[in-house]
A = this chain, B = another copy of it.
Amino acid sequence: MVRWEPGAAGRLREAAMELYVERGFEQTTVAEIAQRAGVTARTFFRHFADKREVLFAGSEDLAGALMRAIVEAPAGAGPMAVVAAALDVGGGLLGQDRERSRHRQLIIRANPELQERELIKLARLGDRLAEGLRARGIAPREAVLAAEAGILVLRVAFESWVSGTDQGDLRVIMAETLAALRTVTA
């Protein structure tokens, strides 16, 4: 949600997004991205670990916000209540510009390698959430299950929101999805 004009990292992000849309992820070469950003390919790899990572720059912000929400949740809240609070915060963060999200998601959906990267980001996020829950004194197994259930809701709700089948506020959709998960598993 931050604007990026000056640094090479920001220009590389922009260039990559544009090229991935114009000719697709696989058909885009790192050299091309670098050239459009006015730097060398070598410099690209100084800013991003690999060709996929350039699309996942903001993920640390989300993780930080969710972790903060977990820490700040009211004392004594049960696992799923804590997770629900975190999801609400996450929905507020992710649910800002739907067009950009849809854009990005189209790129990712079109390429398995990018899906892999997204999945592992979510898995790592789940690990951190579980750790946050354990830090609140929640038993390991419950922590893992609640965290993973939260990631599941986040994923499904986001997908629904970004696909436009569901027009409302992402936070609302997340709450509905969580309720639906409760109903289905019950």
- Count of chain copies: 2
A112 part of interface (Cβ distance < 8 Å): yes
A146 part of interface (Cβ distance < 8 Å): yes
Q: Are A184 and B123 in touch, CB under 8 angstroms?
A: no
**Interface size class for chain A?**
20 to 34
A3 part of interface (Cβ distance < 8 Å): no
> Bound complex: CA of A119 vs CA of B120, how far in Å?
7
Q: Are B144 and A156 in touch, CB under 8 angstroms?
A: yes
- Write the residues of chain A forming the contact surface with B, with a CB cutoff of 8 angstroms: 79-80, 112, 115-117, 119-120, 123, 141-142, 144-146, 148-149, 152, 155-156, 160, 177, 180-186
29 contacts between A and B (CB under 8 A): A79-B184, A80-B184, A80-B185, A115-B120, A115-B123, A116-B116, A116-B117, A116-B119, A116-B120, A119-B119, A119-B120, A141-B180, A142-B184, A145-B152, A145-B156, A145-B177, A145-B181, A146-B184, A146-B185, A148-B152, A148-B155, A148-B156, A149-B149, A149-B184, A152-B152, A182-B185, A182-B186, A185-B185, A185-B186
